[in-house]
Structure 1
Amino acid sequence: MNTPILPTRRYRGSAIEARQAQRRQQLVDAASEVYGRNGYRHSSVKQVCDAAGLTQRYFYESFSHSDELLIACYEQAATALREEITSAAERAGPDRLERGRAMLLAYYQALKARPLIANLLLVEIRGISPAVDQAIIRALQEMNRDLTRVVARPDQQPDELLHAGVMGGVIHIALHWMASGYRQPTEVVANTAFKLSAAMQRD
C-alpha cells in the first residue's frame, strides 16, 4: 500500500516555513546589534547578513527593504522592554505608586544594561520614514497604556495630553542620561522620572 503524499507535503511545508522563520529571526537579532552599534544610516544589508551568517538573498526572502527590518528590530525590542517593565510593576505589589516606581526603575535599568538596544529604541529609529514613524507611535501608545494602567487612579479620566507629556519626559530624561554616559545612578534617574509620572495621580 502506498504511503499518502499529502501529510509529507504538509510536513515539508512546515519545515520550510520554520527555516524561513529562523533565518528571519537571525536577521532581526543581527540587525538589532548592527544598527545599535553602527547606526541604521551607516549599516548596509551586507553587514547585517554577514553578522547573521546568511547570504544577501535571504534578506529579500523576509524583507523588501531595510526599513522593514528596522521596524521588526524596533518592535521586538520595544515589546521585550514593555514585558520586562510590566513584570517589574506587577512584582511591586498593589500600591500604584510603588508599581510606577518599579516600572520606571526597570525601564532605566534595561536601557543601561543594553546600550545597543537603548540606542536603537531611542536614537537610531528617529526620522527614517513615515512607516517607521508609525511603528514608533504604536509602540509609545502601548507603553503609555501600560503606564496609565499601572500608575493612574482607576476612577481618573485619562488626560491624553498629560500622559503624552509624561511619556515624552520619561524618554527625554533617558536621552539626556544616555548622552552623559549614564553618569547619574539609575535610582536617581528613575526617581526624577517618577516626579513626572506622579502628575498622573493628581485630580
Structure 2
Amino acid sequence: MPTSSTVQRRYRGAAAIERKAQRRQQLIDAAIEVYGRNGYRHSGVKQVCEAAGLTQRYFYESFAHSDELLIACYEQAASQLRENITTAAEAVGDDRRERGRAMLLAYFRALKAQPLIANLLLVEIRGISPDVDHAIMRELQEVSRNITRVVARPDHQPDELLRAGIMGGVIHIALHWMSTGYRQLPEDVAETAFKLGGAILAE
C-alpha cells in the first residue's frame, strides 16, 4: 500500500509535469504573437520570454533553440486552422462542391480574422531551416489528404501532383490577397480559389 509520502511525491511529480506543459504553452502562445507581429528573424528568445512572462531558463526547459519553438507554433496554428475548415465543410452536408466552397471560405476568413497567424503560417515560416521546411511539407501533405477526404469522390484518389498544384495555387492567392491588405472580400477570394479546387471535384 502506498505511503502518504509516496502519494505526495507522485502528486508533486504530476504537478511539475503540468506546470512544465503550461509554461511550454505560454511560450508557444507568446511566440505566435511575437513572430506574427515582428517577424521570426527579428525576434529573439528574450522577446518571446518577456511576452510569455517567463525567464529564459524556462525556454530551454522545453526547446533546444528558436527553430523548435517556431515549428511548435506553426504546427499548433496549422492544426487549429485545419480543424476549423474541416468543421465548416462538414457542416454544409454531403455535397462535394459546397464542402469545397465552405473549406475555402473558412480558410480565407480565418486568415483575415487572424492576420498575425496568417503571417506566421504563410510568410515567416519560409526559408528558415531544413527542419522547418520539413514541418511545412508534413503539414501541407496532411492538409492535402484532409481536403481530398472531405471533397473528393470516395472511390477516387486525385493525382498527387494535381493536389500539390492546387495547394500551391491557393497559397499564392492568399499571399497576394494579404499583400493587398485583404482588399477583396473573403467570399470573392474563396470563389477565385474555388476555380482551382474545382479540378479535384471534376475528376
The answer to whether the superposition gives a TM-score over 0.5 is: yes
Q: In structure 2, what is the Cα distance between the partners aligned to 1:71 and 1:157?
A: 29
Q: Which runs of 5 or more structure 1 residues have no equivalent in the other structure? A: none
Q: CA deviation at 1:158?
A: 2.3
Runs of 4+ more than 6 Å apart: none
Instruction: Answer yes or no: is 1:184 the counterpart of 2:174.
Output: no
Q: In structure 2, what is the Cα distance between the partners aligned to 1:90 and 1:130?
A: 35
Match of 2:82 in 1: 82
* TM-score, scaled to structure 2: 0.97
Match of 2:53 in 1: 53
Please say if residues 31 and 70 of structure 1, whose CA atoms lie closer than 8 Å, have aligned partners that are also in contact: yes
How do 1:5-154 residues align onto structure 2 when only pairs under 5 Å count? 5-154=5-154
Q: CA deviation at 1:115?
A: 0.1
Please say if residues 151 and 197 of structure 1, whose CA atoms lie closer than 8 Å, have aligned partners that are also in contact: no
Q: In structure 2, what is the Cα distance between the partners aligned to 1:26 and 1:200?
A: 39
- Aligned to 1:5, what secondary structure does the other structure show? helix
Please say if residues 85 and 104 of structure 2, whose CA atoms lie closer than 8 Å, have aligned partners that are also in contact: yes
Please say if residues 35 and 43 of structure 1, whose CA atoms lie closer than 8 Å, have aligned partners that are also in contact: yes
- Aligned to 1:25, what secondary structure does the other structure show? helix
How many positions carry a matched residue from both structures?
202
Q: CA deviation at 1:172?
A: 0.5
Match of 2:172 in 1: 172
- Greater shift after overlay, 123-132 or 141-150? 141-150
RMSD: 1.1
Please say if residues 125 and 132 of structure 1, whose CA atoms lie closer than 8 Å, have aligned partners that are also in contact: yes
* TM-score, scaled to structure 1: 0.97
Q: Deviations along 1:4-47, whole A, 9 cap, x unmatched?
A: 32211111000001111111000000000000000000001000
Q: CA deviation at 1:149?
A: 1.1
Match of 1:4 in 2: 4
Q: In structure 2, what is the Cα distance between the partners aligned to 1:18 and 1:141?
A: 32
Q: In structure 2, what is the Cα distance between the partners aligned to 1:37 and 1:157?
A: 39
Q: CA deviation at 1:3?
A: 4.3
Q: Deviations along 1:75-120, whole A, 9 cap, x unmatched?
A: 0000000000000001011101001100000000000000000000
Q: In structure 2, what is the Cα distance between the partners aligned to 1:105 and 1:157?
A: 23
Please say if residues 49 and 55 of structure 1, whose CA atoms lie closer than 8 Å, have aligned partners that are also in contact: yes
Match of 1:159 in 2: 159
Residue type at the aligned position of 2:62:
S
Q: In structure 1, what is the Cα distance between the partners aligned to 2:114 and 2:166?
A: 23
Q: In structure 2, what is the Cα distance between the partners aligned to 1:154 and 1:192?
A: 25
Identity of aligned residues (%): 75
Q: In structure 1, what is the Cα distance between the partners aligned to 2:49 and 2:125?
A: 20
Q: Which runs of 5 or more structure 2 residues have no equivalent in the other structure? A: none
Match of 2:198 in 1: 198
Q: In structure 1, what is the Cα distance between the partners aligned to 2:7 and 2:157?
A: 55
Please say if residues 34 and 43 of structure 2, whose CA atoms lie closer than 8 Å, have aligned partners that are also in contact: yes
